[in-house]
C-alpha cells in the first residue's frame, strides 16, 4: 500500500562531472526522491514520461518497491531531458539544457488510493503542477513537503511562494533561498519561509550539509566527508524523499524526530553522490544508511 | 609577557558589502588574528606599516592587549592596502585591489623575547615571509599555525606547499584547498595536507563552519546562524588567532581540545562578521564568546 505520494520529474539526463559522463541516464526529482523514500516507506509516483523512456528504468524503479500506477506514459511523447555539467567545485551544476517535453502539458491524474495518503512529496517541478496535485488530494495530507529550484524561482516566483505558503516543510538550497527572498542571510530567508505558515524551514547546502529552523529552534547537520564524489545530481531529491519516507514511517513530527530524519536523509543523500544517476541509491540498504547515521553523531561531538 | 607571536599584514581596507562601505578601515590578517588571540592569550605582532597608518589604530590594538614592539613603522612608506567587495552571497570577496606597499621589501625583525615563544601564528601573507619568520625563531615553537589565501596559491604555490610542510596546523578555506591540491574533494585536499607532516588539517568554510581532519578522526563544526552579517572580512584571521590563543592558554593539543578550540574560534569569527573592520571584535569579551560556544553545542545535538 502506497503511503507516500511523490510528484516530480522522471528524466533522461546527460551529466558530465570531472569523474565521467553519462548520457540518457535515469534521472528526475521524482525518480531520486521515490527510490530514496523506498528505503523507509512505500512511495507511489505521479508523473509522465514519453514512449522513449526505457522499460529497464521502469523495472529498476519497481524493483526498489516504487509504485508506478500514477506514471503516465505518453505515446509518441518525449521524456523530460536535463543536461548539466559540474566543475571542480561539485556544489553547483551548470544547466546546459532543460527540455520539459511531456511535462509541458502534463495534467496529473492521481490514482484514487494515492489521493487519500497522509504524506505528499512535491518534488522539484513547475510549481503550478505542485499546487495542482495538492488540490487534487481527497483530503489535506498530514504532511506535505515541497522542493524547488532556481529555474522556477526565476520563472514563477509568485507560484513558488504560494507553494511555500501551502506546505508544511519547504525545502530549498541556500542559493535558492537567497534568490527567492532576496536576502544574503539564510537565517532571514528561513524566517521568511516560517512566516508563510511552514512549520519548519530546511536549507540544504550540498556538501556543507543542511540546517533546520523552527520559530524557536535551530539544528545544523554537517555534510558527510565524502572522499569520492562522482555525481551530486539528485542528492537534494534523495534528501527530500528520505526525509518524508522517514517521517511517514515514524509518524512523529516533533523537532527531535525531525532532526533524526534530517540526519538519515543526509546519510542517503551522501550515498547518492558516490555514483552517477541512481546507481548507489539502488545499491544501498538500511544497514548502510544506519551505519552512516552513527558516524554523523560522532562527527559533531565536542 | 607575549606568549603568541603573530605575523601577517596590517592594512588599510576599503570594503563594500550590501550593508555598507568603509574606507581606510583597520584591517589585515595580523590585526584580526592578534585582536582575536588577545581574548585568550597575550599576542605580539611582527609586521610593518607606513607613516600613513593612523595612531588611533595602534592605540586601539594596544588597548586590546596586543604587544606591538615587533611592529615596524616605515618612515615615508605606505601601508598595505586591500580593497574588496561582497555581493549577496557574502561567502566570497571580490578583491578589487591589493597594494603590498611596505610589505614588498619587508625584512621582519623579531624582538628577542618574541623569538623564544612556544606559539607562532603565520597569518596570511607572502609565504616567503612566513618561512623567513619561522627560520628566525630561536627554537622551533611548540605549535606553528599558518593561514594562506588564493593570491599566494596562484603566485607562489611551491612556497605555500613548503609552509604546509613546515607547520603543525595548516589553515585554508575550501576553495583554497581545492586550488592548492587541484582536487574537487576537500577530504582529499585534507589528506594532502596531513601527508605533508601537518598534525591536523582544518578547512574553513565561511558561513558553513569548518572541518577538522587528523589521520584517523574527523570533526565538523557548523557555522553560527547569523541573522545580521555586515562584513565577513577577517573572519578567517579571527578564527586562526582565536584558535592559537586558545591552544596557548590550554597547552593541550589533543584532538578533543582541538575541537573545543575550533568551536571557540568559530564563535569569535562569527562575532567578527557582525560588524565592519574590527569593531565587533573589539567589543566582545570572553563571556560573549563562551555563551555562543554553549549555543554551538545545542545546535548539533540530535
pLDDT tens digits, B154-201: 999 999 999 999 999 999 999 999 999 999 889 999 999 999 978 899
Three-state DSSP at A163 gives helix
Task: Mark out the alpha helices in chain A (DSSP H runs).
Answer: 29-37, 55-63, 127-135, 150-155, 157-166, 174-181, 186-195, 235-250, 255-272, 279-283, 286-299
Query: In Å, how far is B45's CA from the nearest CA of chain A?
Result: 31
B38 Cβ partners below 8 Å, 6+ apart?
Answer: B64, B65, B66, B245
Rounded CA-CA distance A266/A223 in Å is 7
In tens, the pLDDT along B105-134 reads: 999 999 999 999 999 999 999 999 999 999
- Render pLDDT for A65-74 as a digit per residue (tens, 0 to 9): 999 999 999 9
| Domain total in chain B | 1
CB atoms within 10 A of CB B139: 9
CATH code for position B221: 3.40.1190.20
Written as tens digits, the pLDDT of chain B (302 aa) is 999 999 999 999 999 998 999 999 999 999 999 999 999 999 999 999 999 999 999 999 999 999 999 999 999 999 999 999 998 778 778 999 999 999 999 999 999 999 999 999 999 999 999 999 999 999 999 999 999 999 999 999 999 999 999 999 999 999 999 999 999 889 999 999 999 978 899 999 999 999 999 999 999 999 999 988 999 999 999 999 999 999 999 999 999 999 999 999 999 999 999 999 999 999 999 999 999 999 999 999 99
Distance CA B27, CA B97 (A): 14
Closest chain A CA to residue B183: A88
pTM for this prediction: 0.92
Chain B positions touching A187 (Cβ under 8 A) are 225-227
Distance from CA of A176 to the nearest CA of B (A): 11
What chain B residue is nearest to A18 in terms of C-alpha separation? B184
CB B3 within 8 A of CB B119: yes
Give the best residue of B184, B219, B261 to mutate against chain A (max A CB count within 10 A): B184
Using CB atoms, pick whichever of A184, A213, A227 lies closest to residue B89.
A184
Query: Domain of A134?
Result: 4-299
Of A175, A218, A299, the CB nearest to B299: A218
Select from B204, B220, B301 the residue whose CB has the most chain A CBs within 10 Å, as the one to mutate to test that interface: B220
Beta bridge partners of A260: none
Amino acid at each position: 500500500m502506497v503511503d507516500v505520494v511523490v510528484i516530480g520529474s522522471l528524466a533522461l539526463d546527460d551529466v558530465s562531472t570531472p569523474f565521467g559522463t553519462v548520457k540518457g541516464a535515469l534521472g528526475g526529482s521524482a525518480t531520486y526522491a521515490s527510490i530514496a523514500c523506498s528505503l523507509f516507506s512505500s512511495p507511489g509516483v505521479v508523473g509522465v514520461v514519453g514512449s522513449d523512456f526505457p522499460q529497464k528504468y521502469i523495472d529498476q524503479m519497481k524493483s526498489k518497491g516504487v509504485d508506478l500506477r500514477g506514471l503516465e506514459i505518453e505515446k509518441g511523447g518525449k521524456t523530460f531531458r536535463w543536461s548539466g555539467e559540474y566543475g571542480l567545485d561539485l556544489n553547483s551544476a551548470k544547466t546546459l539544457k532543460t527540455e520539459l517535453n511531456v511535462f509541458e502539458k502534463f495534467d496529473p491524474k492521481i490514482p484514487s488510493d494515492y489521493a487519500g495518503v497522509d504524506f505528499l512529496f512535491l518534488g522539484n517541478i513547475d510549481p503550478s503542477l505542485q499546487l495542482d496535485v495538492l488540490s487534487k488530494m481527497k483530503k489535506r495530507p498530514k504532511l506535505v513537503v515541497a522542493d524547488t529550484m532556481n529555474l522556477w524561482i526565476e520563472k514563477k516566483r509568485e507560484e513558488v511562494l504560494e507553494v511555500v505558503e501551502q506546505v508544511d516543510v519547504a525545502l530549498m538550497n541556500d542559493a535558492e533561498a537567497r534568490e527567492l527572498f532576496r536576502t544574503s542571510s539564510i537565517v532571514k530567508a528561513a524566517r521568511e519561509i516560517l512566516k508563510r505558515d511552514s512549520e519548519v524551514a530546511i536549507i540544504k547546502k550540498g556538501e556543507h550539509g543542511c540546517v533546520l529552523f523552527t520559530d524557536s529552534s535551530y539544528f545544523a547537520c554537517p555534510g558527510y566527508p565524502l572522499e569520492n564524489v562522482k555525481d551530486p545530481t539528485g542528492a537534494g531529491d534523495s534528501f527530500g524523499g528520505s526525509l518524508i519516507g522517514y517521517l511517514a514511517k515514524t509518524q512523529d513530527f516533533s523537532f527531535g524526530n525531525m532532526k533524526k530524519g534530517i540526519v538519515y536523509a543526509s546519510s542517503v543523500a551522501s550515498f547518492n553522490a558516490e555514483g552517477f544517476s541512481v546507481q548507489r541509491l539502488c545499491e544501498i540498504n538500511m544497514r548502510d544508511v544506519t551505519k552512516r547515521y552513527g558516524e554523523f553523531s560522532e562527527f559533531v561531538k565536542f
